[in-house]
């Protein structure tokens, strides 16, 4: 940046230009006597000097301009592969159509707590060390709070004087006694309205700036999606207009128990889960152990159950859609809409019947790792669909980039995707491949629902279909540039490997690991080894 001294020298008036005072006392230029040619040159010099003076003022005004505001809305378990954006028509119109929709957005771990921890820190799970939703899996543990959470993006936003608000689900173990209880408020948040524990719509507790607030089952006062929206409006009303604001809203929808608002409980009455792709297909011998267990074809009772869940998930999202509409209207009303970035995304995808698994996430397949991502804001042209791969570890650096934080001063694995959305603001390069990793969760004792499969399982249904296990621990390399591939290695007794060509087989029905050139497997294995040990900038090197 030009120094104050050099700017002063740069703006010096020419030697032949003097100032005299008008009758009003203001300084006006006066030319020294001289030839007409000299006079003409001096008039030109005056014009140049005034132009430079004006440019300097504009430069200083631009430097002092208030940074853009940001609103982030994080849905809970909202898929994109199975039509999960269908219910949020207003969000698609007001955010996606008004800006950009990313067609290749992914979570780096398809489960709530590891994924949300990646959003907060900009780090892969092997670096932030949150393995699953349990306290023993480091979800909101004291170790997480004292180490990684202290480096989360809200801390940096607070340092550059953003006014910050959080409302809704945070991390699955947040507020529990082993996780600091409700009195613990993470650094960087000015207004804190966080759900204690996992998603709920009624009958829950909030930590409101460190004090417990209990709620019942009255729709008008307790429905969590509406409550956090209304409190964000209060925050906007009471904010300082001289400083930028950041709002993060995390409604429970469409996570179980799928409790819709009263006015939406009969919506989508004829909707069923999609029957195409891998729906009700056997996992087969070429899938890892957990997917070889479900009975196929699925029982009618299981299909009826997942159809009901599918409908109710969509019903809960209608209130989220209302939230988006209400926020956009409020921002427009207070004349902040044009200076506000709005992000809409989910923590992970979801499945309903794929490979005969009833309902859940946690799997390596596209339906669980792809997520919705729509953004609008300053410098973003409307009606864009971008194919550049974006990960949830990219959210934190993007937010800090918008806030003007020097990204070289933060140690994050992700990269800002502001250049993709608004190329005029930044230059950027899309990654060629990336990592997806998950640590399976199980119970040391035998699950009563499924004694024949032995210990080490979790998330089991009465018909002995389990959604997770200790040996459902894997790491994958996903490529989109060049070959459209997914290569996964399991940490199990079989050292199982799965490989899919997503161009030829978008539903991942056939594991082609035994059909490809061994050199390809070697290349993918080397990429995986590199990514599993990467940290910071090395996670962004496409070599």
The closest alpha carbon to 159, from 125, 129, 190, belongs to 190
Q: Rounded to whole angstroms, what are the CA distances from 432 to 175, 219, 479, 505, 543?
A: 39, 47, 6, 20, 9
The residues carrying an active-site annotation are 112
Distance CA 86, CA 165 (A): 28
**138, 139, 145, 148: CA torsion to nearest 10:** 70
Residues with Cβ within 8 Å of 523's Cβ and at least 6 positions away in sequence, in order, are none
Residue 472 DSSP symbol: -
Both tokens assigned to 153 = 């993006």
Coil, helix or strand at residue 396? helix
Q: Which are the contacts of 503, defined by CB distance < 8 A and separation ≥ 6?
A: 483, 484
What totals of helices (H) and strands (E) does the chain contain, helices first? 14, 22
What are the C-alpha distances in Å from 6 to residues 1, 10, 49, 56, 201? 10, 6, 15, 12, 60
CA–CA distance, 7 with 23 (Å, rounded to integer): 30
Close Cβ partners of 520 (under 8 Å, ≥ 6 residues apart): none
Angle at 110 between CA 156 and CA 435, to 5 degrees: 75
What CA–CA distance (Å, rounded) separates 475 from 497? 10
For residues 511 and 288, give the distance between their C-alpha atoms in angstroms, rounded to a whole number: 10
Contact predicate 251/323, CB 8 Å: yes
């Amino acid at each position: 940046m030009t120094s104050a001294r050099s700017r002063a020298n740069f703006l010096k008036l020419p030697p032949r230009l003097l100032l005299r005072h008008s009758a009003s006392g203001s300084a006006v230029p006066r030319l020294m006597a001289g030839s007409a040619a000299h006079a003409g040159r001096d008039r030109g010099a005056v014009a140049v000097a005034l132009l430079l003076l004006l440019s300097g003022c504009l430069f200083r005004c631009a430097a002092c301009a208030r940074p853009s505001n940001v609103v982030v809305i994080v849905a809970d378990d909202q898929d994109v592969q199975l039509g999960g954006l269908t219910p949020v028509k207003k969000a698609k119109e007001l955010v996606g159509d008004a800006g950009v929709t990313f067609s290749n957005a992914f979570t780096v771990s398809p489960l709530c707590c590891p994924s949300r921890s990646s959003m907060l820190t900009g780090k892969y799970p092997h670096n932030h060390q949150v393995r699953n939703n349990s306290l023993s899996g480091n979800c909101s543990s004291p170790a997480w709070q004292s180490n990684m959470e202290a480096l989360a993006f809200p801390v940096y936003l607070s340092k550059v004087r953003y006014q910050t608000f959080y409302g809704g689900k945070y991390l699955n173990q947040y507020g529990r006694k082993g996780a600091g209880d409700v009195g613990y408020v993470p650094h960087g948040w000015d207004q804190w309205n966080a759900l204690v524990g996992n998603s709920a719509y009624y009958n829950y507790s909030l930590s409101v700036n460190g004090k417990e607030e209990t709620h019942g089952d009255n729709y008008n006062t307790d429905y969590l999606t509406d409550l956090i929206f209304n409190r964000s409006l209060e925050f906007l009303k009471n904010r300082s207009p001289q400083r930028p604001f950041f709002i993060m809203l995390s409604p429970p929808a469409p996570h179980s128990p799928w409790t819709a608002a009263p006015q939406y409980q009969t919506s989508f009455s004829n909707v069923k889960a999609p029957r195409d792709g891998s729906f009700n297909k056997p996992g087969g011998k070429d899938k890892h152990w957990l997917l070889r267990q479900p009975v196929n074809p699925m029982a009618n009772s299981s299909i009826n159950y997942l159809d009901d869940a599918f409908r109710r998930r969509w019903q809960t999202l209608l209130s989220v859609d209302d939230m988006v509409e209400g926020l956009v209207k409020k921002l427009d009303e207070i004349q902040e809409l044009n200076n506000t970035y709005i992000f809409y995304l989910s923590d992970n995808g979801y499945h309903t019947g794929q490979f005969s698994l009833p309902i859940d996430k946690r799997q390596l397949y596209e339906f669980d790792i792809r997520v919705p991502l729509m953004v609008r804001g300053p410098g973003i042209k409307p009606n864009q669909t971008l194919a550049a791969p974006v990960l949830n570890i990219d959210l934190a650096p993007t937010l800090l980039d918008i806030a003007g934080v020097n990204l070289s001063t933060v140690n994050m694995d992700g990269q800002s995707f502001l250049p993709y959305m608004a190329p005029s603001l930044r230059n950027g390069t899309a990654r060629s491949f990336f990592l997806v990793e998950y640590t399976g969760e199980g119970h040391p004792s035998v699950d009563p629902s499924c004694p024949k499969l032995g210990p080490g399982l979790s998330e089991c249904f009465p018909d002995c279909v389990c959604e997770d296990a200790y040996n459902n621990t894997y790491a994958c390399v996903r490529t989109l540039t060049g070959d459209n591939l997914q290569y996964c290695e399991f940490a199990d007794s079989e050292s199982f490997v799965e490989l899919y060509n997503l161009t030829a087989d978008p539903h991942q029905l056939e594991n082609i690991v035994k059909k490809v050139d061994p050199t390809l497997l070697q290349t993918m294995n080397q990429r995986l080894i590199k990514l599993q040990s990467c940290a910071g900038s090395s996670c962004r090197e496409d070599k």
